[in-house]
Each structure stands twice: as structure tokens, then as C-alpha cells.
Amino acid sequence: MKRILALSACAMALAAPSFADEGMWTFDNFPADAVKAKYGVSITQKWLDDVRAAAVRLSGGCSASVVTGSGLVLTNHHCVRDCAQDLSTASTNYITDGFMAAKREDEKLCPGMQAEILDGISDVTARVNAASEGKTGADYLKARDAAIAAIEKEGCTGKEDKFRCQVITLYQGGQYKLYTYRKYADVRLVFAPEEPMAFFGGDPDNFNFPRYDLDFSMVRLYENGKPVVTPKHLKWTDAEPKVGQPVFVAGNPGSTSRLNTLEQLQGERDIDLPDILLMLSEFRGRLIRFSEESPEKARTAQTTLFGIENSYKALKGRFEALLDPKMMATKKAADDDLKAKVKADPKLAAAIGDPWNDIAKIEQERVNLQGDYNWLEARAGFRSSLFRYARVLVRAAEERGKPNGDRLREYGDSRLPLLKKNLLDAKPVYPDLEQLCLEFWLSKLRENLTADAAGTKLFLGKRSPEALAAELAKSKLGDPAFRKQLWEGGLAAIKASDDPMIKFVLATDAASRSARKAFEDKIAGPEDRATEAVAKARFAVYGTKTYPDATFSLRLSYGAVEGWNEKGKFVEPFTYYGGLYERATGEEPFKLPPRWVEAKGKLNEKTVFDFATTNDIIGGNSGSPLISAKGEVLGAVFDGNIESLGGDFWYDGRVNRTVVASSAAITEALKKIYHQDGLVKELMAK
């Protein structure tokens, strides 16, 4: 188990200078002066505006960037896996074999994918705070969420067809910002390499370095059936990166816990992560067994298995990070320092109260409510598309009849268009895989809640998990036309439906909602209120010279191309094409696709393939462009090293590294391996 000693999250809480290149900064609070002082480059407002206008957020949880004037977007291969899976058939496997559109007419719609580009930021903190002033628990949560729903709706009224408005919570409730996005609902797959190249080395190499992954793909933005004209795009370059070169990552890091209190981290370490890791490990075993039953089952399960294995390895690293006693001790010291400074200011102490004690009590209460909440609500269906469709249809039919501010937050007016797109876009549903997911969920529900629990009796009745799963997997909800019929028919059509999954959700959803309400009233609401108070204390004591935790919203990090020392050995920051062929064994997961075997000798062995930088990233940054000070794309961020898995809680500039697929390697592969002359010409256009 790794022991990482530098704890920048704690240093940040103590208001000390950030270690090295720490920080996922918002575009309206980027430390340009610090970058100038360290690297000697000037990041102007124009530079920030130009990068922001080309940075893309993908609805599947990834980042991307516009790289040509015709809406061409660079991202990772693993960010379009779902798209490639959805477009594949029993006879055509776009994941294994890759996808290459010969012409624009061959570019294929990615079901459910939406691309968003940040258009503007406005501060709405005062309005949200005013709405929730003096309220606690469930009343606080309801007032806050109603205010957010109103702000989002008002922000996009009259322009909902092209824009999406989202209130982003920053500094754990210390700030609220309205982000207005230009959205593109027609995103089409242009190019994806074979998975054996995009994920060369497989799970053994995942989160490690050296790497030899060509983890990139291209999609294109369309509107009204035509490619979008995008004059504000990043400039592509086939120049190779240099050691020490200043570089920037513009992307949407998903979630970090660097501002959490000690008690919150202990709860994650002692309760959440052990449970999740055990669950993922068991489900992984079931998926592997399922995949061994036939080639077709292996094909249909491959994307799900990839996601489970990736999540398991990432969360295992996160768990190991929290086992570091020095990290936890330093976090305690940071909390104690902030508490002491609050106590020393009577006026601040009176205003803040003791939110740390409140959080500690909430963490103790969490154990009593988390079981029902997890298995009846948060994990319900466990990756079953049929269950997800049914729940969305049932809840949307009920929620749309309520005032906007009274709905479950995911059914607010500003969020319905994307929810509807995900519901109605045509995607394949695999009944055998559905049955496997449902069996697993129902068996774990019974195991964790016990056979005599009210929730178990309601959901299973006298049926076994296997029998009920087989029945539910016969649902007709895999047909998008049927889903559309129910969506448009509303609550009356839902209640009249004889579909087994619809009937099941109708019969059980009240219990799921009840578990959610109890959890939000007693845990989520009070904890959000308490963490907001801690954030206000931190602002009062340390100011706003730090960055907020990641929230899957646009951020910018800075750093340099650098290697690092690991166990007394220096790790070079570059890999090269020549090393790829040395690493290939001819056996999975180090087996090259045929066209790559045939191309040996045609590639420049000294071309930089993948490389490492000191940029501070986390999950959600996948697909982010790595940008030079000149605004050129040097590659696509696709991973971090094993040390970076503690990045949820801290950043250690000595060893945390971002891993990038170089634009030089991408360009050479497009030319010499894939013969994509048209794509290269578009990318290199002056």
C-alpha cells in the first residue's frame, strides 16, 4: 500500500501556499499571477475566453474540445465507448474493430450524448442564501433546491432550445454560480481506434506509467442536420511536447473531497468504500462468468465490464489513500486550526455555530439510514436500463404535474430536455444482461436489508431474485417508440400500462421515495447546511484564494511536462512508438491489432506516444485537451498515474501525474495507420 506524505488538501485548509501546480481553478478565478511568477507565461483574459469557448462537457461524464472550424471535437476513446457499443451489432463491433467514417454522411449519431460549451457565469449566491436563510434540515434543502430550480428556469427562458442553465455549487455551498451552456444534442461519431490500441495494456496498465495507449476519438457537433460552424476552436499541432514546458488542462473534473471534514473522510473510509468495493468485486465476477458463456454475451457486456473494472481500481486507490494515518492526522490538524480561529472571533463563532460537531453526529446517524437509501433508491436497478427507463417515466409523469420548485431536483424544467433525450434516444437493450443486473441488485437488496425487512418483502414478495429478474427483463421498454408513447401519454398511460417493469416501479416507488426523503431530511439536508457553514468559516478566515472542490464544471489547471521519482527510480515523462512494439507480446492485453502489426517500420519510433505532466486532474477530466501557452492542443488527457488516485483528497506535486495521448502520435497514426487524410487535413488547416 502506498504511503503519500504531502497533503495539499490539508495545506489548503490551513491557507498555506499550494504545493507545486495544485488546483482545479474556475475560469473566473484563475491565478494568472502565480502562473506568470512560476512559468513566465502570461495568461490573458482573451486566452481564457478563447479556451473556454472551445472547451466541451459531454453528458456522459467526460470532457472534450473543439479542434476545427467545422465542429470536430477531440475526446477519449473511453468517452465514446457507450456510443460505439450502442452502434455495434452482433456482426459489427465498433469497440473491438474501431469506427472510421469515410465521409461526413457516414458519421453516426451517438444516442444520449449531448455536448455543452460554457457561455457565461453569474454569481447567484445571495439569492440562494436569502431563500434558505434561517432554515434547517428538510426545510433548508427544499428552499435551496426551489431557489436553484427557479434560477435555472429563469436563466434559460426563451432560449431553452439552444441553451442549458445549471446552478453550480462551489466551496460546498459557500458560493453558487449560474453556468449557462450552449448545448448541442446532435453529436456524431467520426473516428474511434480499436480498443486494443486505445486501451493497450488493459487493466494491468490502467493508472500506471509508462503507457502506450492511443486513447482518443473524434466526434462532431451538428445542428439542423449540418455540422456546426465553430470559429472559436483550439489549434491542432503535431509538435511534440518538451520537458518543463508549461501546459494547461481545460476540463470538467467530476468530484473531489478535499474540503471535507475529518469525520466525513472517516465515514467514507469506514462505511462507504468497503461496501462499494465488495459490491463491485462480486459484480465483476458475475460479469466475467456471463461473458464466458458466448461471444455475443462477451460483446454485450464488454462496456459494462470495462466500467466496473475501472471504477474498482480507482476506488481501491481512493480507499488506500484514506488508510494513510499521516494524511488523516494532518487533516485533523487542519480542522482543529480552523476551529480555533473561529473560536477566537466571537462574532464569527456566534454566526457559524459548531458545524463540525453537527457533521460528526450526522455521520453517526448515516449508518441507520444508508441501507434502505442505497438499495431502494440510490442503487436501485443497478445498471439496468429497463429499470432506469421505468423509474424516469413513472417519476416524470408524477413530477411534471407539480410546480417547478416542488419537484425532485432532477425533474426541474431546466433539466427535462436532457433527461428526455436520454430516455427517448434509441439504444440497444440486451435482455440477458438486464436479467443479470437485476438479479444482482435484488439479491444484494435481500442480503443487505435481510429477508424479513419491509423493503425486501415489498420488492420481492415471495419471488426469488432470479425469478423476479427474469420476469422484469421481459419489459417492452427497450423499444424507444414504446417509451415515447408512455412519455407523451403521461400518468394515465403509465398507470394503464401492463408492462412488468412499469408495474413493478409503480408498486415500489413510494417506498423508494420514502427512503430518499428520510435520507435527505436527516442526512443530506443537515449535512449540506453544516458544510455550508464550514465553507463560510473558511472564507472568513482564509479568504477566497483557494479553489473549490470539483463539481463536473469547467476548470483550468496548470503544470508542466515532468517525470517523477518512484521508489528511488526516476520515471521519464515520455513513451515512444518504438516502445510500443517492444511492449507488445502478441497476447491480451498486450496484443496489437493487425493493422498495427503490419505497420511496424512505417512509424517514426522516436515519436512521443504518451507523456506525463504535473497538472491536477481527477475523473471527469478524461478527454480534456492539454493546451500549450500558445493555445495549441498537445494531446488528450486520458489517465493519471497510480499516485494520483489520492487526488480526491489531496495533490502531491512530487508524484501526482496526468497522462496524455500526444497529438503528435495521434496525427501520425491517422496518417500512416488509418489513412485518414481528410481528417488530418481538417485538423492541420491553417
Which pLDDT value is given to residue 19? 44
Contacts of 61 (CB under 8 A, 6+ apart): 79, 254, 552, 619, 620
| Residue 367, pLDDT above cutoff 60 | yes
β-partners of residue 559 are: 247
As a whole number, mean pLDDT of residues 409-430 equals: 97
As a whole number, mean pLDDT of residues 3-22 equals: 40
As a whole number, mean pLDDT of residues 467-486 equals: 98
Three state DSSP letters for 292-355: CCCHHHHHHHHHHHHHHHHHHHHHHHHHHHHCCHHHHHHHHHHHHHHHHHHHCCHHHHHHHCCH
Contact between 229 and 69 (Cβ < 8 Å): yes
Which pLDDT value is given to residue 44? 98
β-partners of residue 633 are: 236, 627
Residue 374, CA distances (Å) to 276, 371, 393 in order: 11, 5, 21
Whole-prediction pTM value? 0.95
- CA dist 44 and 339 (Å) reads 38
Contact between 456 and 450 (Cβ < 8 Å): yes
- CA dist 252 and 281 (Å) reads 28
- CA dist 268 and 516 (Å) reads 19
| Residue 3, pLDDT above cutoff 50 | no
Task: Supply φ then ψ for residue 184, to 5 degrees.
Answer: -135, 110
Contact between 617 and 288 (Cβ < 8 Å): no
Contact between 322 and 268 (Cβ < 8 Å): yes
- CA dist 81 and 94 (Å) reads 9
In the chain, % of residues over pLDDT 70: 97
Closest CA to 579 of 205, 66, 57, 171: 205
Distance of alpha carbon 368 from the chain centroid: 28
Contact between 388 and 526 (Cβ < 8 Å): no
Residue 546, CA distances (Å) to 13, 51, 78, 614 in order: 9, 21, 31, 18
Query: pLDDT per residue over 523-546, tens digit each?
Result: 999 999 999 999 999 989 987 788
How would residue 326 be classed by pLDDT, with cut points 50, 70 and 90? confident
Could you say which DSSP state residue 25 is in? B
DSSP element (H, E) containing 634: strand 632-640
Instruction: Copy the grid coordinates of residue 98.
Output: 474501431
| Residue 16, pLDDT above cutoff 80 | no
Mean residue pLDDT of the chain comes to 95
Closest CA to 391 of 307, 507, 493: 507
Closest CA to 624 of 549, 537, 559: 559
Burial of residue 14 (CB within 10 Å: 0-12, 13-18, 19+) is middle
As a whole number, mean pLDDT of residues 463-479 equals: 98
β-partners of residue 627 are: 248, 633
Q: Which residues of 218-249 are buried (b: 16+ CB within 10 A; e: fewer)?
A: bbbbbeeeebbebeebbbbbbebbeeebbbbb
Angle, vertex CA 287, rays to CA 284 and CA 292, nearest 5: 130
Residue 123, CA distances (Å) to 126, 175, 611 in order: 8, 8, 37
Task: Supply φ then ψ for residue 187, to 5 degrees.
Answer: -120, 125
| Residue 1, pLDDT above cutoff 80 | no
* Dihedral in degrees, nearest 10, Cα atoms 527, 262, 311, 78: 80
Burial of residue 539 (CB within 10 Å: 0-12, 13-18, 19+) is middle
Contact between 39 and 558 (Cβ < 8 Å): yes
- CA dist 213 and 613 (Å) reads 16
Query: pLDDT per residue over 348-362, tens digit each?
Result: 999 999 999 999 999
Instruction: Copy the grid coordinates of residue 62.
Output: 467526460
Domains of the chain: 8-114+185-257+548-683 (2.40.10.120), 262-542 (no CATH)
Which pLDDT value is given to residue 686? 63
- CA dist 262 and 133 (Å) reads 26
Residue 192, CA distances (Å) to 180, 447, 641 in order: 30, 41, 24
Query: pLDDT per residue over 264-302, tens digit each?
Result: 999 999 999 999 999 999 999 999 999 999 999 999 999
- CA dist 178 and 126 (Å) reads 12
Which pLDDT value is given to residue 15? 34
As a whole number, mean pLDDT of residues 78-99 equals: 97
Closest CA to 328 of 665, 650, 682, 654: 650
Query: pLDDT per residue over 633-674, tens digit each?
Result: 999 999 999 999 999 998 999 999 999 999 999 999 999 999
- CA dist 133 and 129 (Å) reads 6
Q: Which residues of 277-316 are buried (b: 16+ CB within 10 A; e: fewer)?
A: bebbeebbebbeebbeeeeebbbbbbbbbbbbbbebbbbb
Which pLDDT value is given to residue 65? 98
Task: Supply φ then ψ for residue 164, to 5 degrees.
Answer: -125, 135
* Signed CA dihedral, 524, 176, 29, 535: sign only: negative
How would residue 330 be classed by pLDDT, with cut points 50, 70 and 90? confident
